[in-house]
Amino acid sequence: MAIILRLDRVMADRKMSLNELSDRVGVSNVNLSKLKTGKVSAIRFSTLEAICSVLNCQPGDILEYVPENPAQQ
């Protein structure tokens, strides 16, 4: 996959647990866990906005594009 999710890194930087983020964002632990481990194929902008608001970060802090073929750069 060319999109890498860095939610776990941002959460660790903010010293925030999955339970705390779930409570503050209003998204279930299960859905956030899937997002954290990269087992999702989509994310709603409203969810991304809420996560960024709670973690005080930018979407680019959570999502990273890495080309599967380095020649595509």
pLDDT computed for residue 73 by the predictor: 56
Residue with tokens 């902008």: 45
Give the total number of structural domains in the chain: 1
pLDDT computed for residue 42 by the predictor: 92
What is the extent of the structural domain holding 23?
Answer: 3-67
With respect to residue 63, please indicate whether it lies within any of the assigned structural domains.
Answer: yes
pLDDT computed for residue 31 by the predictor: 93
Output the domain CATH number for residue 19: 1.10.260.40
With respect to residue 27, please indicate whether it lies within any of the assigned structural domains.
Answer: yes
pLDDT in tens, the chain (73 residues): 589 999 999 999 999 999 999 999 999 999 999 999 889 989 999 999 999 999 999 999 999 998 887 665 5
